[in-house]
Structures are given as C-alpha cells and as structure tokens.
C-alpha cells in the first residue's frame, strides 16, 4: 500500500501498530486526539476528532487501507461512547466509501459476545451478546461493516480482540490473551489477502483454553504461534483463582458483565 491509516495511534495497540507495520505501507498516516509526538520520515500525523465528519473525511482521503483502533476502549457513559465509538465509526465507514478506501481492519472486541458463558464455545455465526455499552458500540460497528460490504463493497475484517498485552494479567486472560506478534501477523494477513469480504476473526493466541472457533476465517491463513501457557506459573503465583461462579470466571467478557456505571 502507498498509505495506511491507523486511528487511535496513541493507544496501546495503535502504538504497537505504528512501530511494527512499517513494511505494510510506504506511509503510515497516524491519528488520535492525544499527542503523537514527532512524525518519522515514513509517517504523517493528522490529529482528528472522530465525531467530526469533515475532519474524518480529510483524514481518510488518499489512504489505501484503514486500521481502526480509534475510540473509547473500556466501558463508559453513553454520552462518551456515542460520539467516539458510534458516530466516529460511522464517519470512518462513510468517508471510506466516499474516498474509495476498500479495506478496513475494524478492532471489535470480545465484549461484543461477552455474555456467553465460559464453557460455551462459539463461532462467527452465533448471535452477539454484548456485556456493556462498550460492547454494544462494537456490535454497531460490526453491523456497519456488514452493511458497507454488502451495499458498497468495502471489505472488513471484524476482529474481536481478546486481551492484547505483553503478557496475560489474570487467569481469564490465559484464555483470551493475544500476543503482539500474533496481532501484527493478523493485520498483515488482512491486508495481503487477495479477497477479504466481511469476515469475523476471533483474535486470541494459540492458548490451551479456547472459547472461540475461527474456522470461518481459515481462508486468511492466520495461524497464531504464541501461547499463554508459558505464563501459567507466574499467573498461578500472583493471582488467586476466582470462584467458578464469579463473573470474571463465568463469562467470556469477565468483569464487564457486571460492571455498572450507576
């Protein structure tokens, strides 16, 4: 690609993508409302408020692909979720259509299906069960991705990210953990696939405990190589195992399933 847009480029995953995707496009266009520092020779920095349509259209113009990490990444009030995650995601898709961008990596979340119970293995055909307003916003983005593909041919990988950190932080993350290397490999597969369509990918590494079935995305050829198992002794030593009925142990979405703002 000539130019790849990364939204939310100041966040954890955006920072990782900024550092690791330099071979995917000649120019990385980086955007966030937070400070992104100084641009490197292969970078363009364009601060953007995702809820502002005119700003987003300028941001998207001239790009060949979009990695959409932008928005609020935790549970929050509807007043904050609405502009960042709902209006902002609509603006990204509509501007992609208007500007001729044909492929998007949409960072969805396991919280779009967070109310499934731990012993239930699901695949992309199972209905969404959001565990939070944040999860609801990701379901909206997933529906938007399908609409823009069916009507306008904008291809999307709807990527339900588990827990992407350098290492898992608790026993739940032993199942949901996604290594940085596996995420970067997945992004590469998304943009190098000859045809993408609108595909849902559950993004977790090759962990011993698996809640999600990725066979419908097998054509991408993404095979996660890492496993959380190497961290098991560390997690067992520092984290008490929650009771079997505790939400963090019971639901795919963990504590989001009972988190309340009131």
In SS3 terms, 115-171 reads as: CCECCCCEECCCCCCCCCHHHHHHHHHHHHHHHHHHHHCCEEEEEEECEECCCCCCC
Q: Note down the domain range covering 246.
A: 3-257
Length of the chain: 262
In a domain, 93, yes or no: yes
Is residue 116 among the annotated active site residues?
no
Does residue 247 surpass a pLDDT of 80? Answer: no
The residue with greater pLDDT, 221 or 258, is 221
Give the span between the Cα atoms of 195 and 221, in whole angstroms: 12
In a domain, 141, yes or no: yes
Does residue 185 surpass a pLDDT of 80? Answer: yes
DSSP bridge partners of 156: 104, 198
Give the model's confidence band at 260: pLDDT under 50 very low, under 70 low, under 90 confident, else very high.
confident
DSSP 114: T
Helix (H) or strand (E) holding 107: strand 103-109
Does residue 245 surpass a pLDDT of 80? Answer: no
Report the pLDDT value the prediction gives residue 150, as an integer from 0 to 100: 98
* Arithmetic mean of pLDDT over the chain: 96
Which pTM does this prediction carry?
A: 0.96
Q: Which of 90, 134, 148, 149 is catalytic?
A: 134
Give the model's confidence band at 256: pLDDT under 50 very low, under 70 low, under 90 confident, else very high.
confident
Report the pLDDT value the prediction gives residue 249, as an integer from 0 to 100: 81
Q: What is the CATH number of the domain that holds 119?
A: 3.40.50.720
DSSP bridge partners of 213: 123
Which tokens belong to 121?
């293995």
Stretch 172-176: mean pLDDT, rounded?
95
Report the pLDDT value the prediction gives residue 189, as an integer from 0 to 100: 98
Which tokens belong to 241?
């195992």
Give the span between the Cα atoms of 19 and 17, in whole angstroms: 5
Give the span between the Cα atoms of 72 and 50, in whole angstroms: 11
Does residue 54 surpass a pLDDT of 90? Answer: yes
* Percentage of the residues of the chain whose pLDDT score is greater than 90: 92
Report the pLDDT value the prediction gives residue 261, as an integer from 0 to 100: 74
Report the pLDDT value the prediction gives residue 240, as an integer from 0 to 100: 85
- DSSP line for 5-46: EEESTTSHHHHHHHHH-TTT-SEEEEE-SS------TTEEE-
Number of domains observed in the structure of the chain: 1
Report the pLDDT value the prediction gives residue 241, as an integer from 0 to 100: 81
Structure confidence by residue, pLDDT tens digits, 60-110: 999 999 999 999 999 999 999 999 999 999 999 999 999 999 999 999 999
In a domain, 146, yes or no: yes
Give the model's confidence band at 246: pLDDT under 50 very low, under 70 low, under 90 confident, else very high.
confident
In a domain, 262, yes or no: no
Give the span between the Cα atoms of 36 and 214, in whole angstroms: 34
């Amino acid at each position: 690609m000539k130019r790849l847009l990364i939204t939310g480029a100041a966040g954890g995953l955006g920072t990782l993508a900024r550092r690791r995707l330099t071979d995917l496009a000649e120019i990385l266009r980086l955007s966030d409302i937070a400070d992104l520092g100084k641009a490197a020779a292969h970078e363009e920095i364009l601060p953007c408020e995702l809820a502002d349509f005119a700003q987003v259209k300028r941001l998207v113009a001239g790009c060949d692909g979009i990695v959409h990490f932008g928005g609020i990444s935790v549970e929050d009030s509807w007043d904050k979720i609405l502009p960042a995650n709902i209006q902002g995601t609509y603006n990204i898709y509509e501007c992609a259509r208007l500007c001729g961008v044909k492929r998007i990596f949409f960072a969805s979340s396991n919280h779009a299906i967070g109310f499934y119970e731990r012993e239930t293995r699901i695949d992309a055909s199972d209905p969404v069960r959001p565990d939070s307003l944040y999860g609801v916003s990701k379901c909206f983005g997933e529906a938007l991705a399908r609409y823009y593909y069916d009507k306008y041919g904008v291809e999307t990988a709807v990527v339900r990210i588990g827990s992407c950190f350098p290492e898992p932080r608790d026993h739940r993350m032993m199942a949901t953990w996604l290594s940085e290397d596996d995420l970067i490999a997945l992004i590469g597969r998304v943009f190098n696939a000859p045809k993408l369509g609108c595909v849902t990918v559950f993004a977790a590494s090759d962990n011993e405990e698996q809640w999600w079935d990725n066979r419908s995305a097998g054509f991408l050829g993404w095979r996660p190589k890492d496993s959380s198992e190497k961290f098991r002794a560390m997690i067992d030593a520092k984290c008490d195992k929650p009771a079997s009925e505790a939400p963090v142990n019971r639901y795919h979405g963990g504590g989001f399933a009972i988190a309340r703002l009131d």
